[in-house]
């Protein structure tokens, strides 16, 4: 049956079942959803939608017909009239594609009203479906820009969604000897340029599409020269999380002709957009090649279909995708693909943390079905056991308080997304407990990344969520944090005698504000440098870590001078966003169900091989550390 | 450098080196060769050619410019004038593409003349290069038809060769991270539809492309639905031997758009052409689908570039192919591919016999270099040890003489290519030694297949070759063999009371003359049936082997009647053209050099897995039994 015929069949079913007074104006495939447009969407009950979804095995959305929606300007005025001023509405965001209006206010309870009475009133007056949310405590430029793009280009976005919808529901012929296969285009026996290519006779899905920012040339990008890879044939791109080694090439896909959907969580969409832009900025400054432009990033945003954890979505005629929390960074996901009629299930962990961090819940380890697991192996080797988190935190606070006490400054070069926020939570607690009393300066992209974190409290750990929602005690808003927003402000932080803590990007001293701070703070033995992440070979961070006593630097006027390193240097390994070997094995132990086959990727060759060999011995399942360009048939 | 530029460079070099009086009219890429056309080709010495080949790293051929060649009709008259009548010339075959004339005669010595004087005279008179050969003792219709096609369509063939030549010598860019990969499109963990797809960043080579004649539907053909497979991208097709499970689909490739070369030995070309036609005939009679027509078989012949054992040939810009004797059937080969500048070597055994048979020498087991071996596993399982050949031969002769003595007939259903000729040699010896005295009737395609064997004595075992060349004692010409050439003749064999032996196709009683004989001979207990090959599940042969006492058959007028089976039934397993488990392991033991990786295919799943596991234990190399659609990176 063609998509057209299927849609007509669904239309008939919808009309047959709908309440007699329903005025249905259209039924459409939009992305993975069946969208019913009605002049009176409010008359469709939740149970109607649920039953329809169950019977059709589709995600169903009911939306107001655009003709009944009030003009956004007028609608906004109406909202402000209806809602009491005490609610302190800060923003109304109209999503023309869903017919929803997000009403941001300081007191969302007042927007809802008694038993939802205010909401009802709003809905009747403007017809848009009101979604009251708490005003994010730190406004995000990234989110604002994404929303603006999606609103401005709503007609285009709608057209994209409908095209995707038709493609998902296209007619296919099922082969007698159905098969499922995964090719590793990058990230096998290496870290960087992670890219998996899932293939069945009828479907092609790219899962992650990263770049290796540490190298240049062919090895920086996934193996698009794999004979099975064809950009025109890709049905869907799935992104597990926003780190560039998992998503860095995605805008490039659009540049080279991809025109389909990108599935990921909403935080991943926002964080990766931030990181794409940052990557582009830095590369431009350094005169490096980037395989895309700002325009391609925008195209990518328009093609992104955010999905929440646990919601199962058709992404091709035979593949359903469910994302589950991976515990690694905000919005990070395990991608679970259910292929055919329950025939085959394959999950790819992306990067996982199987331990509660301050920021996030631990990775999900239970699935309805599972035949093949693909797992990261960053710390997969026998000796990759990291120190306990609690110990590491204590150690950090000790270093901090000692440095501050002697009047020094603590510089922590840190990756802006994830690790920075985890450290902020540790420092905030230390400050509250009186371990130290000095400001924590945030420089580089940390502030903006934190803003995105505060926009998605539902993705954070229960503890933090509770503090934000119930206690009105958002740790990221603590008075201890000070934003460094300009080079002047940075200068002032450097020049002042005030003991302080500085979190600054980049995490490996490869550029950005952390290098500025380092150059100025290094010669003073009162100061301390704390590395909290991996320092790659060849980076300034690695040299410092190795104990170099002098670092040659290029001054503004182009001359080279030498800077003596006298500050104290520490490395703390326990803040990793990855599971260490113990946790990886614990993850496999707790995994339900135990799959037939486990494939190890995302680690140096010996780490993948060690983990594969241990897992084989422990669980007596087929395990393997594939190579890039291996293509493994799993069914 | 483009093919054009490269050719110009080669031209300059040739002209620079050529003797002053050489009249070179053209230099061309033709298939894998560089062909130099000259008005006086005789002035180029062998050492000139050898040195040029060595320095250019190309195969060099020197040919007369077509303008100097005498018209074939006139040339033939000249030859007959020059050569004494005693030579008994039976045929002159002009090959317009090489400028050669094959002169078939009963006494080739007289065509050569004293110290080659007659040859010299011929050459001067007609300018074609004369190649004297002994008239094949049994004329082959297949070879005649192939030669006729190649002569009639010589212009087309030349154009094809030039196109292939340019493609082989095309310009390519070498990637930083060069890789080599093999995909299994068929024949992994199964027998039938063998098809390997060798890929590098710049090359695509299909090695074997078989069909499974025992099944219908998707499973009969290789996985052309593999995402990496693209018929337009194939550089070359290499065929190891003429059995349909290795080459049956090749004409279909041309039907679906392939337009490149097929590399195999000359006997393989001829035998596979015979088998394609037979397959087409049978399928037509049974109303089955065949993915090609007679026209596609002809196209295949025109695109076939025969290569001899041991000759290294460029087949893509980075892959060189060498074929080595596989000992399995006439012309069967191990394909050794040398990739890049000595970077990587991969050999695929095709089907091998690692024991001298009466017909052939054992498979080659030494290679200049070898990193990956792909080996067949038909008899790879622990219990796949076949009886000794000598025992089996004795057993056969005993059965034969007992049956004949009691006045019965011996029916041996047999595959026409390979096994039939091996049995002929056993029976010929028995007859000569007086073990029995009765005719051996040959029915079905056996006669024609034998004719092709006698056309290529250089591919037969040393013993047979010696008998043919030196003793003038060609076993295939023994008076004991009688051809059954018509249904009338067959009727006479069946109806006569004369004790006799009948070799008839098909080997599994799935159709053809063997079934006719069986129906008529089965009810008489004096007769004997001897199975000498594998009887697949579902075939009549298997039922008889299992001991069915009655077989329902459809008579000419469409009714079903039952035939009682009273004849004696024997199964002899020792005539296999495959290596049994012992021989396979011996092969790996003798293999030089021992490769890093051994992949097991062409066998039921447990046979491939058993052999892989044993080989791993014995040789401590990576071994694997891949699945269809696995793609394994080997470098
Ligand atoms: Zn990550
Ligand atoms: Zn990663
Ligand atoms: Zn064979
Ligand atoms: Zn052609
Ligand atoms: Zn075979």
At A9, which CATH number? Answer: 3.30.300.230
Q: Is B628–A633 a contact, with Cβ atoms under 8 angstroms apart?
A: yes
Q: Residue B512 above 90 pLDDT? A: no
**E strands, B208-277, where?**
236-238, 262-264
| CA dihedral of A100, A102, A103, A108, whole degrees rounded to 10 | 110
| Tokens standing for residue B334 | 């191990």
**How does residue B341 score in pLDDT terms, banded at 50, 70 and 90?**
confident
Rounded Cα gap, residues B212 and B68, in angstroms:
49
Residues A589 and A531 in one domain: no
pLDDT at A430: 97
Rounded Cα gap, residues B128 and B347, in angstroms:
38
Q: Is A633–B632 a contact, with Cβ atoms under 8 angstroms apart?
A: no
Residues A559 and A537 in one domain: yes
Q: Is A177–B219 a contact, with Cβ atoms under 8 angstroms apart?
A: yes
Mean pLDDT across B201-212: 97
Evaluate whether residue A561 is within a structural domain.
Answer: yes
pLDDT at A213: 87
pLDDT at B176: 78
Choose among B177, B179, B219: nearest Cβ to A176.
B219
pLDDT at A342: 67
Q: Is B227–A233 a contact, with Cβ atoms under 8 angstroms apart?
A: yes
The nearest CA of chain B is from the CA of A75 a distance in Å of 51
B324 assigned binding-site residue = no
Is ipTM > 0.90 here?
no
pLDDT at A518: 96
Evaluate whether residue B156 is within a structural domain.
Answer: no
Q: Which of A335-349, B285-299, B321-335, B554-568 has the lowest mean pLDDT?
A: B554-568
A324 assigned binding-site residue = no
- Alpha-carbon Rg for chain A, nearest whole angstrom, is 26
pLDDT digits (tens, 9 = 90+) for A292-303: 999 999 999 999
CB atoms within 5 A of ion ligand 5 belong to B 245, 351
pLDDT at B488: 95
Mean pLDDT across A546-561: 86
Check if the beta carbon of residue A205 is closer than 8 Å to that of residue A228: no
CA of residue B299 to ligand 4 center, whole Å? 7
Q: Is A176–B218 a contact, with Cβ atoms under 8 angstroms apart?
A: yes
Contacts of A476 (CB under 8 A, 6+ apart): A137, A138, A421, A424, A428, A450, A453, A454
Q: What is the DSSP secondary structure assignment for residue A218, as one 8-state letter?
A: G
Nearest to A373 by CA among A601, A138, A213, A69: A601
The residue in chain B having the minimum alpha-carbon distance to the alpha carbon of residue A227 is B228
Q: Residue B615 above 70 pLDDT? A: yes
The residue in chain A having the minimum alpha-carbon distance to the alpha carbon of residue B203 is A227
Residues A450 and A363 in one domain: no
Q: Residue B303 above 80 pLDDT? A: yes
Residues A235 and A86 in one domain: no
Residues B402 and B544 in one domain: yes
pLDDT at A189: 97
A259 assigned binding-site residue = no
Q: Residue B248 above 90 pLDDT? A: yes
B351 assigned binding-site residue = yes
Q: Residue A472 above 70 pLDDT? A: yes
Residues A95 and A223 in one domain: no
Rounded Cα gap, residues A118 and A100, in angstroms:
16
Evaluate whether residue A148 is within a structural domain.
Answer: no
Q: Is B633–A632 a contact, with Cβ atoms under 8 angstroms apart?
A: no
CA of residue A87 to ligand 5 center, whole Å? 79
**How does residue B177 score in pLDDT terms, banded at 50, 70 and 90?**
confident
Mean pLDDT across A312-337: 97
Residues B260 and B344 in one domain: yes
Nearest ligand, CA of residue A418? 1
Q: Which of A77-81, A351-355, A538-542 has the lowest mean pLDDT?
A: A538-542
Best probe of the B interface among A178, A234, A633, A635, by most B CBs < 10 A, is: A633
pLDDT at A141: 95
**E strands, A254-370, where?**
262-264, 304-306, 313-314, 319-325, 333-339, 344-348
A223 assigned binding-site residue = no
pLDDT at A555: 77
Residue A309: its H or E element: none
pLDDT at B342: 67
pLDDT digits (tens, 9 = 90+) for A388-426: 999 999 999 999 999 999 999 999 999 999 999 999 999
pLDDT digits (tens, 9 = 90+) for A326-352: 999 999 999 999 999 767 999 999 999
Residues B336 and B220 in one domain: yes
The residue in chain A having the minimum alpha-carbon distance to the alpha carbon of residue B188 is A633
Mean pLDDT across A597-615: 97
Q: Is B630–A632 a contact, with Cβ atoms under 8 angstroms apart?
A: yes
Nearest to B607 by CA among B43, B229, B190: B190
| Mean pLDDT taken over chain B | 94
Residues A191 and A110 in one domain: no
Evaluate whether residue B167 is within a structural domain.
Answer: no
**How does residue B502 score in pLDDT terms, banded at 50, 70 and 90?**
very high
Backbone angles phi, psi at A340, to 5 degrees: 70, -165
Rounded Cα gap, residues A324 and A353, in angstroms:
12
Residues A424 and A567 in one domain: yes
Evaluate whether residue A221 is within a structural domain.
Answer: yes
B602 assigned binding-site residue = yes
pLDDT at A341: 78
pLDDT at B380: 96
**How does residue A458 score in pLDDT terms, banded at 50, 70 and 90?**
very high
Mean pLDDT across B221-237: 97
Mean pLDDT across B316-343: 95
CA of residue A140 to ligand 2 center, whole Å? 25
Q: Is A227–B199 a contact, with Cβ atoms under 8 angstroms apart?
A: yes
Evaluate whether residue A593 is within a structural domain.
Answer: yes
Mean pLDDT across A2-27: 93
**How many domains in chain A?**
4
Q: Identify the CATH number of the domain in which residue A93 sits.
A: 3.30.300.20
Domain boundary among B135, B151, B186: B135
Rounded Cα gap, residues A59 and A51, in angstroms:
11
Backbone angles phi, psi at B38, to 5 degrees: -140, 150
Q: Residue A468 above 90 pLDDT? A: no
Q: Residue B600 above 90 pLDDT? A: yes
Evaluate whether residue B144 is within a structural domain.
Answer: no
Backbone angles phi, psi at B46, to 5 degrees: -60, -35
Domain boundary among B135, B166, B192: B135
Domain boundary among A43, A67, A91: A67
Percent with pLDDT over 70 in chain A: 100
| Mean pLDDT taken over chain A | 94
Rounded Cα gap, residues B535 and B461, in angstroms:
28
Evaluate whether residue A165 is within a structural domain.
Answer: no
Mean pLDDT across A141-152: 93
pLDDT at A202: 95
pLDDT digits (tens, 9 = 90+) for B555-599: 778 888 899 999 999 999 999 999 999 999 999 999 999 999 999
Q: Residue A146 above 80 pLDDT? A: yes
Q: Identify the CATH number of the domain in which residue B420 sits.
A: 3.40.50.10890
The nearest CA of chain B is from the CA of A312 a distance in Å of 26
Residues B443 and B566 in one domain: yes
pLDDT digits (tens, 9 = 90+) for B441-468: 999 999 999 999 999 999 999 999 999 8
CA of residue B303 to ligand 4 center, whole Å? 7
Q: Which of helix, strand or coil describes residue A320?
A: strand
**How does residue A557 score in pLDDT terms, banded at 50, 70 and 90?**
confident
CB atoms within 5 A of ion ligand 4 belong to B 259
Rounded Cα gap, residues B596 and A554, in angstroms:
49
Residues B494 and B528 in one domain: yes
A169 assigned binding-site residue = no
Mean pLDDT across B299-322: 97
Q: Residue B549 above 90 pLDDT? A: yes
Residues of chain B contacting A199 with CB distance shorter than 8 Å: 227
Per the listing, tokens 């015979």 go with B274
3-state secondary structure A262-304: EEECHHHHHHHHHHHHHHHHHHHHHCCCCCCCHHHHHHHHHCE
Q: Identify the CATH number of the domain in which residue B224 sits.
A: 3.60.15.10
Best probe of the B interface among A216, A629, A632, A635, by most B CBs < 10 A, is: A629
Residues of chain A contacting B633 with CB distance shorter than 8 Å: 627-630
Domain that holds residue B443: 389-571
Q: Which of helix, strand or coil describes residue A93?
A: strand
């Amino acid at each position: 049956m063609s998509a057209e015929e299927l849609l007509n069949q669904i239309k008939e079913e919808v009309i047959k079942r709908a309440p007699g007074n329903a005025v249905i104006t259209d039924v459409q495939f939009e992305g993975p959803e069946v969208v019913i447009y009605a002049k009176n969407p409010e008359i469709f009950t939740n149970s109607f939608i649920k039953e329809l979804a169950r019977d059709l095995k589709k995600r169903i959305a009911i939306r107001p017909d655009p003709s009944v929606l009030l003009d956004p300007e007028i609608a906004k005025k109406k909202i402000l009239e209806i809602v009491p001023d005490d609610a302190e509405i800060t923003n109304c965001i109209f999503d023309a594609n869903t017919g929803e209006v997000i009403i941001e206010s300081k007191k969302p309870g007042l927007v809802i009203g008694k038993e939802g009475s205010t909401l009802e009133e709003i809905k009747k007056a403007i017809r848009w479906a009101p979604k009251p949310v708490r005003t994010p405590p730190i406004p995000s430029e990234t989110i604002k820009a994404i929303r603006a793009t999606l609103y401005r280009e709503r007609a285009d976005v709608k057209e994209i969604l409908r095209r995707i919808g038709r493609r998902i529901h296209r007619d296919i012929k099922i082969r007698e000897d159905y098969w499922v296969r995964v090719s590793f285009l990058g990230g096998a026996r290496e870290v960087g340029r992670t890219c998996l290519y899932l293939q069945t006779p009828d479907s092609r899905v790219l899962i992650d599409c990263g770049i290796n920012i540490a190298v240049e040339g062919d090895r920086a990008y996934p193996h698009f020269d794999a004979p099975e890879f064809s950009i025109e044939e890709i049905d869907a791109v799935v992104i597990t999380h926003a780190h560039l080694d998992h998503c860095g090439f995605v805008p490039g896909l659009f540049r080279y002709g991809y025109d389909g959907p990108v599935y990921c969580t909403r935080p991943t969409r926002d964080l990766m957009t931030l990181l794409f832009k940052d990557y582009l900025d830095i590369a431009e400054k350094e005169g490096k090649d980037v395989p895309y432009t700002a325009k391609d990033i925008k195209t990518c945003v328009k093609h992104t279909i955010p999905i929440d954890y646990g919601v199962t979505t058709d992404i091709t005629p035979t593949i359903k995708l469910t994302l589950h929390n991976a515990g690694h960074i905000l919005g990070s996901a395990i991608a679970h693909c259910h292929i055919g009629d329950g025939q085959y299930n394959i999950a790819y962990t992306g990067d996982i943390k199987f331990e509660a961090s301050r920021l996030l819940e631990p990775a999900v380890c239970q699935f309805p079905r599972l035949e093949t697991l693909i797992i990261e192996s960053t710390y997969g080797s026998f000796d990759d056991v990291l120190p306990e988190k609690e110990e590491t935190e204590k150690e950090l606070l000790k270093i901090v308080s000692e440095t501050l006490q002697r009047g020094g400054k603590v510089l922590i070069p840190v990756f802006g997304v994830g690790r920075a926020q985890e450290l902020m939570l540790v420092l905030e607690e230390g400050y509250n407990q009186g371990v130290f009393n000095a400001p924590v300066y945030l420089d580089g992209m940390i502030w903006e990344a934190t803003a995105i974190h505060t926009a998605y409290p539902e993705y954070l750990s229960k503890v933090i969520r509770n503090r934000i929602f119930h206690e009105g005690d958002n740790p990221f808003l603590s008075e201890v944090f000070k934003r460094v927003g300009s080079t002047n402000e940075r200068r002032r932080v450097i020049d002042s005698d005030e003991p302080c803590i500085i979190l600054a990007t980049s995490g490996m001293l490869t550029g950005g504000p952390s290098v500025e701070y380092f150059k100025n703070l290094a010669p003073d033995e009162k100061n301390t440098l704390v590395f909290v992440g991996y320092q790659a070979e060849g980076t300034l961070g690695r040299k410092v870590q190795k104990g170099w006593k002098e670092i040659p630097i290029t001054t503004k006027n182009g001359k080279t001078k030498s800077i003596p390193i006298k500050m104290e240097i520490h490395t703390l390994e326990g803040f990793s966003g990855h599971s260490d070997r113990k946790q990886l094995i614990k993850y496999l132990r707790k995994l339900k169900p135990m799959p037939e086959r486990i494939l190890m990727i995302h680690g140096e060759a010996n780490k993948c091989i060690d983990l594969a060999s241990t897992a084989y011995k422990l669980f007596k399942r087929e395990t393997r550390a594939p190579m890039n360009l291996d293509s493994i048939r799993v069914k």
